[in-house]
Amino acid sequence: MMIPVRCFTCGTVIGEHWEEFKARAREGEEDPAEVLDELGIHRHCCRRMMISHTDLVDVVSPYQ
Ligand SMILES: [Zn+2]
C-alpha cells in the first residue's frame, strides 16, 4: 500500500516526506535516524510510520 498521508496517532502530515526518505534511507546509504531528523520528523509515532512502512502498491495493484 501507499504510505498514509497522516500519522495514525498525532495526525501530522508525513506522506510528503516518503519519497525523499525512501530514496535516502532505504535505497541510499544514509542512516534512517539522521534522515528523519533532517526531514523534521521528531515524534516517535511519526518515525515509526516511516520506519515500518512497506510499499506494496505495485504488488497489489494488478489484482484490483
Ligand atoms: Zn505522529
**Could you tell me the residue ranges of all domains in the chain?**
15-55
Cell of 8: 495514525
Confidence (pLDDT) at 12: 97
For residue 15, which of 24, 6, 28, 23 has the smallest C-alpha distance? 6
Distance 40 CA to ligand 1 centre (A): 12
Positions of the chain with pLDDT lower than 70, given as ranges = none
23 HSE (CA, 13 A, CB side): 6
Rounded to whole angstroms, the Cα distance separating 42 from 58 reads 29
Q: Is 10 annotated as ligand-binding? A: yes
Confidence (pLDDT) at 58: 85
Distance 50 CA to ligand 1 centre (A): 10
Confidence (pLDDT) at 64: 77
Around ion ligand 1, residues with a beta carbon closer than 5 Å are: 7, 9-10, 12, 43, 45-46
Three-state DSSP at 6 gives strand
